[in-house]
Amino acid sequence: MARIRTVGLVVRRDRPRAVRLAHRMIGWLRRRRIRAVLDVEAGLRGAPALDKDRLAREADLVVVLGGDGTLLSIARRTGARVPILGVNLGELGFLTEVVEAEAMPMLARVVAGRYDLDRRLTLAATLERGGQRVGAFRALNDVVVTNGAHARIIEFSVSVDGLPLTTYRADGIIVATPTGSTAYSLSAGGPIVEPTAEALLLCPISPHTLTNRPVVLRPGARVCITIARREHDAMLTVDGQEARRLAGGDVVTVRRGRSPVSLVRSPDRTYYDVLRSKLGWGGR
């Protein structure tokens, strides 16, 4: 594994424990002559502050101190070569599975090269309007088309690899990765998929036709979602964080991303431990 010379810290600033842990990590790294850089949005002192795009380019390791949403905000910008160590400062997360008490020992393990990675499949999405590409996006969890400000169903058609699948009348549709199967897709009735599996999930949201069920596709599938021309109130949302308004006739194309996201695996718990904890399985 490559030597770690620069560590980027992405910190949820409204969590005092995250701020304290960030300062502790900066001191620990400085004593070992490892450069630390901070996400400028954290508003912290003690290390150079960079925007997320530059931090993702310069870091050899990214440490996230916050929750799953904080991790998603940097994961979309990070290439496969950069491992991400997620430390959850609240309840145990699906993505930030290392807890606070394990953070410093885990950082030491990663810097020493004694760690394992999960390579998580990503999504690449494009938005076309009038035959012209007007947006491109990367997602770790999901790409979602939904109704907009009004609580009403929208109509859209879906094709897979250029072959018609069906026309939906629904609140929307989710294209999710296995990692995203425990996010929005789960609440919409989608299956839980082991996160290192390779597949795409297609999950309608509150479809008007009850036989419209979630579909699991091969990882190389190309999904095209075309908004009906009479629709004027629809939204595209990426990982629950980036949003664009959609117009009638817009086409959203989703396929496997070119590079995965590399997450540091906790040696102290399995994915199934996390499932039991988050979903309350086995309790009485």
From the list 212, 226, 235, 210, the residue with the least C-alpha distance to 160 is 226
Q: Which of 51, 53, 60, 68 is catalytic?
A: 68
Residue 205 vs residues 147, 153, 183: alpha-carbon distances, Å? 10, 10, 13
Instruction: For residues 284 and 277, give the distance between their C-alpha atoms in angstroms, rounded to a whole number.
Output: 13
Residues 6+ apart with CB under 8 A from 125: 136, 137, 138, 139, 143, 175, 236, 238, 252, 253, 254, 255
Q: For residue 124, report the phi and psi dihedrals to the nearest 5 degrees.
A: -115, 125
Residues 17, 19, 22, 26, Cα dihedral to 10°:
-130
Q: At what angle do helices 103-111 and 16-31 cross, to 10 degrees?
A: 30
- Give bridge partners of residue 238 from the DSSP assignment: 143, 242
Count of CB atoms situated within 10 Å of the CB of 218 = 11
Q: Reply yes or no on whether 68 is catalytic.
A: yes
Q: How far is CA 65 from its chain centroid?
A: 15
Q: Hey, which residues are catalytic here?
A: 68
